[in-house]
Homo-oligomer: A and B are copies of this chain.
Amino acid sequence: MLGDRLSTSKAVREEHGRDIAHPDAQPADAVAFPLTTEEVASIVRICHAEGTPVIAYGVGTSLEGHVLAPNGGICIDLGRMDQVVAVNERDLDVTVQPGVTREALNTHLRDTGLFFPIDPGANATLGGMAATRASGTNAVRYGTMRENVLALEVVLADGSIIHTGTRARKSSAGYDLTRLFVGSEGTLGIITQVTLRVHGIPEAMSAAVCTFEDLRGAVETVIETIQLGVPVARIELLDELMIRAVNQYSKLSLREAPTLFLEFHGSQSAVQEHATTVASIAQEHGGQGFEWALKPEERTRLWKARHDAAWAALAMRPGSTSIATDVCVPISRLADCILETKRDVDSVSVWAPIVGHVGDGNFHLVLLVDRANPAEVEAAVQLNERLVRRALQMGGTCTGEHGIGVGKQQFLLEEAGAGGVALMRQIKRTLDPKGILNPGKIFAADP
């Protein structure tokens, strides 16, 4: 059916069976490269008949082992379904195939005055971002994939095709199937088309960097900004260790201190007003004034450095592997959570620079471990466990944006409770009775 668009080459299979955080591949038996929804449906139909696992693949930038194929099966690489199907400029929405990346979409939109704001750093596919409920730096202003997906086309486990949602901005028409598939990590269906909200490019955008005497001052600035309702577009925290890494990697010369990267979107006057408000909050908390990046190329350089932070961290400790953490807490607990975590990090010998989308209460430790050193790996794992339990106790979540995948199944149980996970499993069994869709993710495969 697919001709040379089905590969069983070891290199292709291994490339599709690992992610940054899981370098040891668990390859599928074959990788398919469909071009149409009907081809995806045909592949799934065959796999359904045979009881063969099906693993959807975008571009492999997820972090929780979503693309691993522990039981083999067929990996469906959706990367060649990369067409922008429709741009409805007047409605501020677009419909895309799942393999379109967020950068490709923004390139496509360049002449329309519109942009797609959700930015997880990596140039992920939009199908993958929907499947993992991705967010990133702009979520504090524009929301996550949860808020920005209007409608989906999905191939179900038996190969049937459904459409969820419409292009209407709101609806009370039955169960919210769109939100059921957003964040389902390929375990309930294969997303073959996504309709997304897009936004007008603001009249003015300006970015700024502000350093602080201590971490508390930086975090308190974030908390007050959010509580005041200032509509910052991005407000990102990097601790002094992360700044050191970013300086080295991206050839910057920022002061090695806890730092906020900020961005403001709006009319000229609104941007001015919001920036002034945040600057005065920062000053009260020991902020060292704003350095502005007003020119587009300066802004781009700043955010490129931010996006490369994970790579910068890895480069700071050559030979290390990173374990990403991803808690998100109510904003009032953010200072407690970060400062307690910082003390915890300081008490063990693990390199753990901090970076975070702190406007949402979401931050990451980038745990840099030498995988040849089991004690170090174990210390990092335990540090993460303590961090997750700290966040849960504070009313937070074990994952703000990375998902459950293979590594957080126990944490999901602690967060959602046995009853909540049992209900998720019931839904999984109903939609995928044979358990062929991305087995082993979100919950362990049934015994």
Contact = CB atoms under 8 A, between A and B. Distances in A.
A396 interface: yes
Interface string A66-85: 00000000000000000000
Interface in A380-409: 391-392, 395-404, 408
Given A170-B362, A173-B416, A417-B162, A331 B200 contact: no
B330 A91 contact: yes
A9 interface: no
A180 interface: yes
A162 B426 CA distance: 14
A19 interface: no
A273 interface: yes
A164 interface: yes
A328 B168 contact: yes
A105 interface: no
A318 interface: no
Contacts of A412: 173-174
B426 A171 contact: no
A331 B182 CA distance: 24
Closest 4 CB pairs of A and B: A179-B179, A90-B332, A171-B397, A162-B419
Interface stretch (A139-147, A240-248, A279-287, A369-377): A139-147
A144 B88 CA distance: 23
A206 interface: no
A135 B170 contact: yes
Contacts of A423: 156, 162, 177, 431
Interface stretch (A42-50, A222-230, A250-258): A222-230
A133 interface: yes
A270 B179 CA distance: 33
Contact of A172 (B132, B170, B431): B132
Interface in A164-191: 164, 166-177, 179-180, 182-184, 188
A153 to B, nearest CB: 11
Given A162-B419, A174-B412, A400 B168 contact: yes
A420 B362 contact: no
A228 to B, nearest CB: 7
Contacts of A263: none
Interface in A357-381: 360-362
12 contacts: A93-B330, A133-B171, A143-B147, A146-B170, A160-B419, A164-B420, A166-B415, A170-B362, A171-B328, A174-B404, A174-B424, A175-B427
A92 interface: yes
A412 B421 CA distance: 29
B174 A180 contact: no
Contact of A168 (B143, B173, B183, B397): B397
A176 B188 CA distance: 12
Contacts of A227: 90, 92, 200
Contacts of A349: none
Contacts of A362: 168-170
Contact of A395 (B168, B273, B395, B401): B168
Nearest to A90: B332
Contact of A273 (B269, B392, B429): B269
A442 interface: yes
A36 interface: no
A336 to B, nearest CB: 12
Contacts of A174: 183, 404, 412, 416, 420-421, 424, 442
Contacts of A179: 146, 176, 179-180
A319 to B, nearest CB: 30
A19 to B, nearest CB: 15
